[in-house]
């Protein structure tokens, strides 16, 4: 009997969900050492795309066409001098590209980089337009390079263009939306997004990230809980800065229940965009946290209860290929209204590293032939009745609870929903 057919029957669905994926975004590559893949690996988007294909999700999702974002949209967020430098990379020789990238913090460049960055931002914008117009209810943008670190004048942190900021500013300029909430669950603080919207009361930015007293990347105090916004935007910037590694499901669920959901409902956005990095996931080598795919599914489900379900997840970081694939699959299931029994492993099994295998290989290769990531617990992997913690009721750590409570106390001044 085929494990694939047994474990993943075509599910019923009631929502129209879109996705963005274009193989050309893989052309953005690190030129320094092709034999040693950069953490922001071009395969990241394919890994996610293929697990969704194998699981049958793409068959019931709409593929949204990607077009490169134009200069006028970029210039709503980024300075012209930086844009011109980025455009010049198309004609640079390898040595010049390597020299140019050294001017920035944690960035790599090739001749195709600016085109891929335009495709990344353009793909997210196209998907969000379809959601706002009512053609779709929600969606997932499988895009790269990521964007939440990109500032108005400089790229940084693997990010070239600020995909989410460009999208929000264009939607607002076209009067397609008024208020937008951005939830950033990437393990790193989205300093670029914060910079753009810090004095804006039409955009609510909430980031959950490792902080480590300002030592964790991007290594500044901008991600501190006291950074609440300025001017009209005061109170519209919410930073939940985790104190150390090892943050897990209970910490995130507590933050959502106690802080983010009450504020989101009071703010009542027209659209929610998630800066959906999966580097807080179990086994991510950079994030070193313990968020499970089930937790990502829970957070997605909770956000669906706001803004009439108009929700778009936009890929940011995440550097364990298996972890990002399984986490993305877990997020898509609630978008499609695919249910699994609470407290049980979703199907296909969430820890199985088969994202690059064809359907025939998944069906035909014995279980012992699968390649597993070194740190996954693969015991009882095919047993759908294996109990796992139900993350809706997962308890926070003492340190995590203290962090959320302190942020909550700060923002009670700005949000009446936190005083109830």
Tell me the catalytic residues. 149
- Give start and end residues of each alpha helix (H) in 305-416: 321-335, 359-364, 398-411
Backbone angles phi, psi at 19, to 5 degrees: -145, 155
Residue burial 61-92, b: 16+ Cβ < 10 Å; e: rest? beebebebbeeebbeebbeeebbebbeebeeb
Locate 254 and state its tokens. Answer: 């507590």
Q: How many CB atoms lie within 10 A of CB 318?
A: 29
- Residue 381's H or E segment, with its range, is none
Residue that the structure tokens 């203290």 belong to: 402
- Residue 276's H or E segment, with its range, is strand 271-276
Locate 285 and state its tokens. Answer: 């080598």
Judge residue 416's burial from the number of C-beta atoms within 10 Å of its C-beta, 0-12 exposed, 13-18 middle, 19 or more buried.
exposed
With a CB cutoff of 8 Å and minimum separation 6, the contacts of 310 are 131, 132, 137, 138, 270, 271, 272
Alpha-carbon span 166 to 275, nearest angstrom: 13
Alpha-carbon span 303 to 335, nearest angstrom: 10
Distances (CA, A) of 372 to 230, 367, 376: 47, 10, 7
Q: How many CB atoms lie within 10 A of CB 9?
A: 10
Backbone angles phi, psi at 120, to 5 degrees: -60, -50
Q: Are 202 and 179 in contact (CB under 8 A)?
A: yes
């Amino acid at each position: 009997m085929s494990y694939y057919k047994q474990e993943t029957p075509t599910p019923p669905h009631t929502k129209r969900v879109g996705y963005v994926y274009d193989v050309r975004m893989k052309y953005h590559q690190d030129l320094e050492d092709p034999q040693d893949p950069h953490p922001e690996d071009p395969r990241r988007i394919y890994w996610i795309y293929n697990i969704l294909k194998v699981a049958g999700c793409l068959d019931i999702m709409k593929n949204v066409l990607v077009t490169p974002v134009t200069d006028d949209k970029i210039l709503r967020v980024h300075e012209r001098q930086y844009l011109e430098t980025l455009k010049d990379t198309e004609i640079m020789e390898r040595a010049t590209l390597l020299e140019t990238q050294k001017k920035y913090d944690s960035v790599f460049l090739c001749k195709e980089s600016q085109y891929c960055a335009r495709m990344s931002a353009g793909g997210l914008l196209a998907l969000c337009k379809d959601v706002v117009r009512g053609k779709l209810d929600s969606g997932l943008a499988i895009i790269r390079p990521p964007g939440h670190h990109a500032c108005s004048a400089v790229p940084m942190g693997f990010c070239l263009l600020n995909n989410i900021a460009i999208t929000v500013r264009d939607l607002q300029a076209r009067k397609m939306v008024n208020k937008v909430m951005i939830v950033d669950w990437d393990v790193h603080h989205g300093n670029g997004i914060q910079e753009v919207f810090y004095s804006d009361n039409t955009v609510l930015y909430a980031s959950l990230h490792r902080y480590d007293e300002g030592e964790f990347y991007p290594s500044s105090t901008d991600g501190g809980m006291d950074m609440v916004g300025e001017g009209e935007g005061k109170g519209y910037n919410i930073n939940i800065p985790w104190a150390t590694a090892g943050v897990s499901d209970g910490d995130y669920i507590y933050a959502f229940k106690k802080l983010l959901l009450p504020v989101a409902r009071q703010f009542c956005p027209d659209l929610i965009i998630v800066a959906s990095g999966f580097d807080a996931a179990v086994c991510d080598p950079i994030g070193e946290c313990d968020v499970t795919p089930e937790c990502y599914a829970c957070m997605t489900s909770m956000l669906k209860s706001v803004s009439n379900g108009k929700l778009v997840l936009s890929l940011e970081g995440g550097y364990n290929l298996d972890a990002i694939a399984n986490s993305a699959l877990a997020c898509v299931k609630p978008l499609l209204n695919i249910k699994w029994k609470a407290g049980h492993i979703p199907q296909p099994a969430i820890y199985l590293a088969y994202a690059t295998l064809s359907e025939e290989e998944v069906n035909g290769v014995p279980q012992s032939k699968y390649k597993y990531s070194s740190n996954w617990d693969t015991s009882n992997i095919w047993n759908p009745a294996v109990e796992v913690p139900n993350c809706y009721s997962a308890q926070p750590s003492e340190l995590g609870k203290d962090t959320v409570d302190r942020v909550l106390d700060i923002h009670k001044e700005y949000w009446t929903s936190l005083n109830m």
